[in-house]
């Protein structure tokens, strides 16, 4: 245990303290374990205190698990990391909940420890692209770019939303890149959704939890969309424009607007990649958008098993089978298909989940898996999904290795790719 990073705790003031006598732990099931595949905490990550949750470590002298209520004569709580984009977590934080512990906000929580003057986390960098790395952003240039877009498109409601709300208020990386005139730009379009995802970040009907951002309050016109996409495609480095953002519902509910916008864009330019982030609930609408000129789709999925998919997404007017059918149709129409695969250690790496994912990759197949961390209170997710941790688990990294071995043509990543299709 001497080589394992030290346990971190936080006092009531939010000060984070390392505990030299205790090794950090993490979770993939329900029992704390020593962490594996540790990397330094990436720049742009955030540390969180976990109220109502007691930290769990391993005593280096006895090798036994220890739950800390106090440290250095102070009450303490557990600590977790929110990992920067492009990285996928391998273990959740280990803690013991106390009575009345509040529901955690909709962020991802990763085990974290301290060693050699660095924070360490169990994670992998899954995408080499630097498009959302913290050191790629200049606050001065972002503000200048945002003001420039607002001045250039003074009557465009979508620009106003993207710059004033997404870029400057919420610091959305995609909106910030749009302000800088590069890479992937966001195109929120939909006010409504046909599912009620447990961890929806733009709308929560329950009073248990708050959504961390507000949903767009209008549907932009095709002309408003095309007006900003065309110059971005003509001038930006590796330009991508993506419908389906965290600040909206399901873009397929506004498919007619999107279809017309795509036609206008493609009439003016063949450059750039038009992408749709979607729940893929309407196969016939996917087909129509493909015919209009859509290049790629990213299909959100917490599980390749229909039972668990529908528990999380709570679909209103579609089933998991419709999602699979949409993927099939997109593949038939030569649309590049990515899975927005929500990773949750202890569930994503269950043997039954791997079997289901393997079947999905066999037919209808996908071109890419974006291994995205699931933003949710882990205990809430476990409870609502009814996760059985007695089921066999193989580890997140082993799932990735299985995909690489059995489906070498499937790309790994975190972001929507620029070139479609593209070799790894």
Parallel/antiparallel/unpaired status of strands 182-187 and 74-75: unpaired
B/e letters for 383-396, b = 16+ CB within 10 Å, e = fewer, are: eebebeeeeebebb
Residue 263: name the closest of 280, 234, 299, 288 by CA: 288
Parallel/antiparallel/unpaired status of strands 296-301 and 273-278: parallel
**CA atoms of 365 and 362, how far apart (whole Å):** 5
Average pLDDT over residues 284-307: 98
Please check whether residue 69 is in contact with residue 4, taking contact to mean a CB–CB distance below 8 angstroms. no
Whether residue 423 is predicted with pLDDT greater than 60 in this model: the reply is: no
Helix (H) or strand (E) holding 307: helix 306-313
**CA atoms of 27 and 205, how far apart (whole Å):** 30
We find that the CATH architecture of domain 146-413 is Alpha-Beta Barrel (3.20)
Whether residue 402 is predicted with pLDDT greater than 50 in this model: the reply is: yes
Half-sphere exposure of 86 (CA within 13 A, CB side): 16
Torsion, Cα of 219, 223, 229, 235 (10° steps): -150
**CA atoms of 145 and 367, how far apart (whole Å):** 34
| Count of residues making up the chain | 424
Torsion, Cα of 280, 285, 288, 290 (10° steps): -10
Please check whether residue 327 is in contact with residue 338, taking contact to mean a CB–CB distance below 8 angstroms. no
pLDDT digits (tens, 9 = 90+) for 185-197: 999 999 999 999 9
Check residue 391 and give its pLDDT.
Answer: 86
pLDDT digits (tens, 9 = 90+) for 323-355: 999 999 999 999 999 999 999 999 999 999 999
Beta-sheet strands, E only, within 311-353: 336-343
pLDDT digits (tens, 9 = 90+) for 231-242: 999 999 999 999
Half-sphere exposure of 66 (CA within 13 A, CB side): 20
Whether residue 424 is predicted with pLDDT greater than 70 in this model: the reply is: no
Domain positions in the chain are 6-125, 146-413
Residue 91: name the closest of 112, 107, 115 by CA: 112
Assign 54 to helix, strand or coil: strand
């Amino acid at each position: 245990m001497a080589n394992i990073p030290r346990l971190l705790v936080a006092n009531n003031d939010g000060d984070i303290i390392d505990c030299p006598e205790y090794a950090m732990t993490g979770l993939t099931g329900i029992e704390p374990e020593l962490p594996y595949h540790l990397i330094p905490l990436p720049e742009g990550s955030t540390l969180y205190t976990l109220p109502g949750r007691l930290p769990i470590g391993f005593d280096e002298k006895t090798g036994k698990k220890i739950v800390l209520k106090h440290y250095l004569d102070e009450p303490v709580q557990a600590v977790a990391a929110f990992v920067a984009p492009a990285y996928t977590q391998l273990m959740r934080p280990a803690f013991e909940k106390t009575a009345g512990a509040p529901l955690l906000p909709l962020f991802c929580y990763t085990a974290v420890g301290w060693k050699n003057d660095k924070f360490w986390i169990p994670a992998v960098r899954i995408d080499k692209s630097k498009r959302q790395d913290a050191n790629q952003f200049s606050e001065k240039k972002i503000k200048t770019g945002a003001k420039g877009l607002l001045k250039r498109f003074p009557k465009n409601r979508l620009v106003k939303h993207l710059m004033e709300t997404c870029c400057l208020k919420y610091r959305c990386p995609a909106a910030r890149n749009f302000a800088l005139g590069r890479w992937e730009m966001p195109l929120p379009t939909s006010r409504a959704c046909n599912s009620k995802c447990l961890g929806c970040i733009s709308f929560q009907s329950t009073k248990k939890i708050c959504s961390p951002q507000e949903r767009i309050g209008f549907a932009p016109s095709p002309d408003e969309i095309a007006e900003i996409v065309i110059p971005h495609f003509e001038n930006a480095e590796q330009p991508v424009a993506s419908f389906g953002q965290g600040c909206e519902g399901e873009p397929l509910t506004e498919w007619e607007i999107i279809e017309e916008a795509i036609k206008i864009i493609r009439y003016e330019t063949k450059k750039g990649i038009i992408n749709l982030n979607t729940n893929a609930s309407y196969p016939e609408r996917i087909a129509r958008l493909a015919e209009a000129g859509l290049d790629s789709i990213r299909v959100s999925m917490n599980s390749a098993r229909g039972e668990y998919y529908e528990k999380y997404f709570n679909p209103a007017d579609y089933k998991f089978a419709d999602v699979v059918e949409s993927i099939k149709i997109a593949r038939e129409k030569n649309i590049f298909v990515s899975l927005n695969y929500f990773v949750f250690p202890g569930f994503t790496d269950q043997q039954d989940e791997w079997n289901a994912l393997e079947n999905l990759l066999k037919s209808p197949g996908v071109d890419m898996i974006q291994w995205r961390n699931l933003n949710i209170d882990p205990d809430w997710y476990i409870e609502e999904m009814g996760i059985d941790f007695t089921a066999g688990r193989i580890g997140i990294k082993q799932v990735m290795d299985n995909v690489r071995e059995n489906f070498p043509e499937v790309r790994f990543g975190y972001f929507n790719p620029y070139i479609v299709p593209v070799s790894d």
